[in-house]
Every structure is written in structure tokens, then in C-alpha cells.
Amino acid sequence: MRALSVSALLLLALGCCWGTQDNFLDEDVVEPVIQASKYGSLWPLPQKVQISDVPLKLSGTTFEFTDAKGSTAGASCSVLQNAYRRYFDYIFGGPKKQKMSRNRRSGPTEVTELQVSITSPDSQCDGYPGVTSDESYELSVDAPVAVLKAPTVWGALHGLETFSQLVYEDKYGAKTINSTKVSDFPRFAHRGILLDSSRHFLPIKVLLANLETMAMNKFNVFHWHIVDDQSFPYLSRTFPQLSQKGAYHPYTHVYTPADVKMVIEFARLRGIRVIPEFDTPGHTQSWGKGQMDLLTPCFSGAAPSGTFGPVNPILNTTYDFMSRFFKEVSSVFPDGYVHLGGDEVDFSCWKSNPDIKKFMDEQGFGQDYSKLESFYIQKLLDIVTTTKKGYIIWQEVFDNGVKLKPDTVVHVWMGSGSDAEMNKVTTAGYTTILSAPWYLDYISYAQDWQKYYKVEPLNFNAETRHTYPRLEGQPGTIPERDGKNYLGRVPDPAVLSLVPEPYLLRPGLAEPLQGRPAGF
Ligand SMILES: *[C@@H]1O[C@H](CO)[C@@H](O)[C@H](O)[C@H]1NC(C)=O
Ligand SMILES: *[C@@H]1O[C@H](CO)[C@@H](O)[C@H](O)[C@H]1NC(C)=O
């Protein structure tokens, strides 16, 4: 079984990567070497790029994005129409002026049109991106017509981004694009950024700016770590007292249902999934303020100390609350997955509480409090299963031996031993997200960035490299380091709160990958 799951995992890795060129920073180089990239400003580097030396011109008065004849998405496709306006703006620095172009003749080396063709019967214009979305695209830039083909709108969005990155100004300031061919698809289906809006409340405009930046970098998952010990800014319709009491401020520091909707739609228009995380049973101090009896009362000797610990796992009311709460969450957030947390559960309060001790005895758990944690998580997973969502859990839940559904996604975050953990989780057959090497809050100096680009997420298994030598020579996921296109486009100040989690490995889906390398 082990060998089988390892090889299945690899097929995926071979099937999909945003960049495979070998021009990665040399291990021994301490100072980064600054030089012009032969790929211009492309970021991340597409799978296949051929940029010719033939410069073509673009002009804001003649150029337009159009829907190709035969495209399954047309004028009613909000995702594309919105993207056309956005990218016109990026490229020409302002909105298109209508009907200016009628009589202007275009030169033989001018690109006047980018025709966008969605090729699969279901363009997904009105849907949401998901873990199985096909994000591939092919772009051919020529005069007078450039062509972008993609099976779904999600791939077309990436193609439009690539097109915009190919445009530069010549020495006279004229918009220029070289004749180019690009064929691209992502290496990993899940390329995420975690933002924590509990420890610090993040205003909506910061969230939207992050989504914008993610789209420019072809990230496709916003992991919204929306609540934690410090505050509960999510305004629940079912339990409004949670944010009323648990937010930093009940009106100014909350996300209303309208706010959440706006974030989700803004993300959808950029091909980004929004996965909320409601972390329990630990990290829940803020929940206790608005929900009586949800948290465990801690004891000091024989008397309650007045402080509270993790969610109280021995009360039926806890599970009634969770059922109603996650029912709401499942209808508010359209994505197929919800993140259930489960990390860093502190057992000391449970240990102090005589009712919990009694329950432990009744259940035959002895002194093993991870069994109590598992008891809670098991019931929570059953509750969430009834909402028809898939779930993601932090690695401790797997480590503690909780019985998991085979399609559970295990999120590896702990810095030490993450290779061994990846090995364990994938060998057990679970889909995995790896975040451990990319905690961006550890960056204290610019040079620190280098190591983040050198991580090869599939290097956790020596057997892997041995069996599949083609994996070697893919030293990094973002092989070009082009300062101009990178930090210049990341809006301050949110960058420090980003934790990317680009790696979702799907060991079970090797077969379809071979025939359809892009969206798996
Ligand atoms: C675009 O073409 C010009 C020549 O017109 C060439 O100097 C330049 O290197 C090309 N750009 C890229 C990124 O290949
Ligand atoms: C909790 O629910 C279980 C199963 O429905 C029941 O057997 C038990 O008596 C309930 N406990 C309390 C304290 O209500």
C-alpha cells in the first residue's frame, strides 16, 4: 500500500507545476544576483513560454478584449467581463473610453484584440472555483489578434494575468508586447494564503487588497483564519452574541454577513476559493464570552478558578451549539471545504476539572486526554459531515489518532519534522496541505525570502526522488526571482501576515491526472 500511495502522489507532481525551469538561485550564492530575466516580468513562470523578439504595439484606443466565436462564455459571463475591465485598467492605466477607436487604423504590428475562448461546455461562469477546477490555459500573442484558450473561466483568468505581465513600455513609453506563446497549468491544485483576522482585525479593504495580490500571483485559496482566542469578528446570524461579546468592538471590528458575501464574490471574480477556519476545541477564548457554558471551567484545587479552557467536550449542549453553528457556516461559505482547526489543545484545564475527570473514567480514557480530544473531534466531524462539506484539520488531529474520513485533508504546519510528517500523512493515504516551510511572519530581513523560494515540497520522501528522477531538476516552485514584479505588487502592510500554503497533494487521483494534467 505504501509504495502505491507514494507513486500515485508523484504522478500528480509530474502532472502539474507552474514552473519547471532550472534557473533557480544557486545554493552557494549568498548575495542575490540581480539581472534581467529572459522571461520579462512573468510571475510565477508558466510551464512553457516562448517569447520571440518581435515587438508588437498595443494602444488603449484600439485594443479590446473580446469573446471568441464559439466560446461557451459570452457577454453575460460576469467573471470574464469583470476581468476584461480590470486588466484593461492594469495595462493602460485607466478604463476604456468607448467608441474612440472607430476610424483609427491599426498598424501591421499592432495587437488590437485578445480573443478569449472558453472551450469546455460548462464555462463555470456562474460557479465557484473548487479543488478540482481546471486552471489551464493557452495564450498566443500575435498581430492583430491574440488568442487565449481555456477550458474554464478560472484558467482564462490566469491567462489574462499572464497577458498583462507580458506588456511593457518601450523606450518611448509605448505599450509593447512581444509575439509570444504560453501554455500553462498549475503544479498544485491548492495554492493558498492564510490571513489571521482575529489576533489583529483586518479591515475589509486589506482583505480585498490581499485577494487582488493573490490573483496577480496565481494563488487560488484564501484560508480565512477568521476567529481565535483574541477575538471573534465573524457576525453569526444564529449566534450574534458571539461577535457582540467576543469581537474587539461589536460594530466596527466585525465581519457582517454582507462583508463576508463581498469578500467571497471579490475572490470568486479572481478565481479564488474562500475557506473559513473555525478552530476548536482550543483557540476559543473569544467564543466563551458570548456563549455560556461552551468552554470548560478550570479549577484551582476544589473550586473553579474563574478561568476557562478549551471547548467543554462532555456537555450535550456543546454539540447542539456546534450543529447549529456549522449549519450556518456551511450555508454562508460556498466552498466545498471548511477548516476545523484542532491544533494546540492545552489539556491542563481539562485535567483540573472534576466533571471532566469523572467523564474520563466513565469512558475508560484513563489519563489520556488526547482520547478526550479525539472524542470531541470525532463528534464534530460527524456534525460537519451532515452539512455535506469536506474538512481540513491541523496535523495534531491526525497525530492523535482521531478516526478520519478517507477524504479528510491534513494540514501540516509544524516546523520541525515536517518532512517526516508529510511522509506519514501521505503514506496513510490522506490529501495534504503543507504550510510548515512558509511562515512569512518569520521574515525579519529581505535575504530571508530566499529560503522560501528554495523549498521543494515533494522532497520529503527519498524514495520519491529515487523512483522518479524526472522530479530532479525542479528545484523550486517559483523559479524566477524578479524583484520588480514581486514585492512591487504586494500591497503593504499585509504581507507580514501572510502564510502561503501552496501544496495540496492528492494521492488518490493519479489516474485522471495523466489524461488531464491541469485541473485535478
Ligand atoms: C522582446 O523583444 C525585444 C526585441 O524587440 C528583445 O530585446 C526582448 O528581449 C524581448 N523580450 C523578451 C522578454 O524576450
Ligand atoms: C446527552 O445525550 C445522550 C445521548 O443523546 C444522553 O444519553 C444523555 O443522557 C445526555 N446527557 C445529558 C446530561 O443530558
Q: pLDDT of 83-101, one tens digit each?
A: 999 999 999 998 887 655 5
Strand order in 431-434's β-sheet? 499-501, 192-196, 221-225, 273-277, 337-339, 390-394, 409-412, 431-434, 503-505
For residue 252, is pLDDT > 60?
Answer: yes
For residue 3, is pLDDT > 60?
Answer: no
**Cα of 485 from ligand 1 centre, angstroms:** 17
Q: Give the SS3 label for residue 176.
A: strand
For residue 506, is pLDDT > 80?
Answer: no
> Is the minimum distance from the CB of 159 to ligand 1 under 6 angstroms?
no
Q: Which three cell numbers stand for residue 85?
A: 475591465
| Least confident residue range of 194-198, 325-329, 504-508 | 504-508
Q: Which three cell numbers stand for residue 263?
A: 469578500
Scan for cell 489578434, then name that residue: 145
Higher pLDDT, 12 or 120: 120
> Is the minimum distance from the CB of 51 to ligand 1 under 6 angstroms?
yes
**Cα of 316 from ligand 2 centre, angstroms:** 6
**Cα of 294 from ligand 1 centre, angstroms:** 63
Q: pTM here? A: 0.84
The pLDDT value recorded for residue 2 is: 30
The pLDDT value recorded for residue 429 is: 85
Higher pLDDT, 31 or 304: 304
Which of 141, 170, 178, 182 is the best mutation target for the ligand 1 pocket, counting ligand atoms within 8 Å of the beta carbon and taking the most?
178
The pLDDT value recorded for residue 452 is: 82
The pLDDT value recorded for residue 495 is: 33
For residue 286, is pLDDT > 90?
Answer: yes
Give Cα separations from 439 to 307, 409, 481 (angstroms).
Answer: 31, 19, 19
Which of 35, 37, 51, 162 is the best mutation target for the ligand 1 pocket, counting ligand atoms within 8 Å of the beta carbon and taking the most?
51
Q: pLDDT of 112-163, one tens digit each?
A: 999 999 999 999 999 999 989 999 999 999 999 999 999 999 999 999 999 9
Q: Whose CA is nearest to atom 10 of ligand 1?
A: 53
Q: Whose CA is nearest to atom 2 of ligand 1?
A: 53
For residue 499, is pLDDT > 90?
Answer: no
Residues 280/325, Cβ–Cβ less than 8 Å: no
Using the atom order of ligand 1, give the atom closest to the CA of residue 176.
1
354 burial (CB, 10 Å; 0-12 / 13-18 / 19+) is exposed
- Nearest ligand (C-alpha, residue 52): 1
The pLDDT value recorded for residue 34 is: 65
> Is the minimum distance from the CB of 440 to ligand 1 under 6 angstroms?
no
For residue 178, is pLDDT > 70?
Answer: yes
Higher pLDDT, 463 or 408: 408
The pLDDT value recorded for residue 470 is: 26
Q: pLDDT of 469-493, one tens digit each?
A: 222 222 222 222 222 223 223 332 2
The pLDDT value recorded for residue 28 is: 52
- Could you give the residue range(s) of every CATH 3.30.379.10 domain in the chain? 48-94+106-184
> Is the minimum distance from the CB of 495 to ligand 1 under 6 angstroms?
no
Q: Whose CA is nearest to atom 6 of ligand 1?
A: 53
Q: Which CATH class is domain 191-460+490-498?
A: alpha beta
Contacts of 506 (CB under 8 A, 6+ apart): 12, 189, 431, 520
- Could you give the residue range(s) of every CATH 3.20.20.80 domain in the chain? 191-460+490-498
The pLDDT value recorded for residue 277 is: 97
Rounded-to-integer distance, Cα 109 and Cα 54, Å = 9
Q: pLDDT of 364-374, one tens digit each?
A: 999 999 999 99
Using the atom order of ligand 1, give the atom closest to the CA of residue 178.
1
Structure confidence at residue 450 as a pLDDT band (50, 70, 90): confident
**Cα of 176 from ligand 1 centre, angstroms:** 10
For residue 517, is pLDDT > 90?
Answer: no
The pLDDT value recorded for residue 461 is: 62
Q: Whose CA is nearest to atom 8 of ligand 1?
A: 53
The pLDDT value recorded for residue 401 is: 87
Q: Whose CA is nearest to atom 3 of ligand 1?
A: 53
Q: pLDDT of 52-68, one tens digit each?
A: 999 999 999 999 999 99
CATH level 3 topology of 48-94+106-184: Chitobiase; domain 2 (3.30.379)
Structure confidence at residue 390 as a pLDDT band (50, 70, 90): very high
- Nearest ligand (C-alpha, residue 56): 1
Q: Give the burial string for 426-461 (b: 16+ CB within 10 Å, else e).
A: bbbbbbbbbbbbbebeeeeeeeebeebbebbbbebb
Q: Which amino acid, residue 340? A: L
Q: Whose CA is nearest to atom 13 of ligand 1?
A: 40
The pLDDT value recorded for residue 99 is: 58
**Cα of 178 from ligand 1 centre, angstroms:** 7
Residues 157/123, Cβ–Cβ less than 8 Å: no
Catalytic center residues: 344
